[in-house]
Amino acid sequence: MKDIVSKMKQMKLLGMAKAFHQTVESGKNETFTPDEMITHLIESEWDERYNRKLERTLQAARFRYKASVEEIGFEEGRVNKNQVVRLADCEFIKRNENIIITGSTGIGKSFLASALGHQACSLGYRVLYQHSTKLFGRMKIAKADGTYLKELAKMEKQHLLLIDDFGLQPLDALSRSTLMEIIEDRHGKASTIITSQAPISKWHEIIGEQTIADAILDRIVHDAHRIEMKGESLRKKRQIKSEDIDLAK
């Protein structure tokens, strides 16, 4: 048995080697038919490779939150459950459609976006999370050190790009130009999720320069799935609950 397991590992059949070792050790191999044993080993290898690929994809995505669709709270009508469930199949990525998530601070926009991003990763899509302020800051540095086009190309290759907390401050000329290039590269070819505290009606003012703002918004907003989250800040609720617990001690 050790020789077989060793050969499996040399061929990088790690899931198969682990399953074979565990099956023989437990004696379950004696109850398996040859067909069942082969099926068990192949499925174990498939699962192992899928999990390794998913781990790499999640690491590359650099999510702010570890989130899942199952963890999203739909209490008090904060967000439309049916809409989220429909989007969770990630068909919007196949159609190169965008999602815009708006709502007050602390309402759970970033978590929802990250949950959809994790779901996309689990289905094999390349995903990248970017906080808008850090993104524009990094792209300014990239302009200076000559890596700007490389950074743009990296984002263009993603099936799904998450831009979080858009509109915290008005865009300057360089950030406006960068956003235009990012959106133009992805328009009709890939999907983008944008979260923002500011309602879409304020985005023109945030982007500035009417012609560029018109071009950006036409590409982002047109036919985008819009999710408007409502209710009180979850962070504020958690803080109040924590303070209540402290007072009760």
Q: What is the β-pairing status of strands 225-228 and 160-166?
A: unpaired
Co-location of 85 and 206 in the same domain: yes
13, 39, 61: which is the final residue of a domain? Answer: 61
Q: Is residue 242 part of a domain?
A: no
88 is in which domain, residue-wise?
69-236
For the cut 50, the answer to whether the pLDDT of residue 23 exceeds it is yes
Has residue 245 been placed in a domain? no
Q: Per-residue pLDDT for 19 more than 50?
A: yes
CA distances for 109 relative to 60, 105, 225, angstroms: 21, 8, 14
Which of 19-33, 135-149, 207-221, 232-246 comes out lowest in average pLDDT? 232-246
pLDDT at residue 242, rounded to an integer: 45
In the chain, pLDDT over 90 holds for what percent of residues? 61
Greatest Cα pair distance in the chain? 73
Residue 129 lies in a domain: yes
Contacts of 68 (CB under 8 A, 6+ apart): 115, 118, 119
Average pLDDT over residues 221-226: 90
pLDDT score of 117: 97
Alpha-carbon gap, residue 228 to 185, rounded angstroms: 26
pLDDT digits (tens, 9 = 90+) for 36-76: 888 988 998 888 888 888 888 888 899 988 899 999 888 77
Q: What is the mean pLDDT of the chain?
A: 88
Residue 87 lies in a domain: yes
Between 249 and 54, the more confident residue is 54
Whether 178 maps to a domain, the answer reads yes
Same domain, 86 and 203: yes
Whether residue 124 sits in one domain with residue 57 = no
CATH code of the domain in which 152 resides: 3.40.50.300
Q: Mean per-residue pLDDT for 14-28? A: 82
* pLDDT at residue 237, as a whole number: 53
pLDDT at 222: 83
Last residue of a domain, one of 39, 61, 83: 61
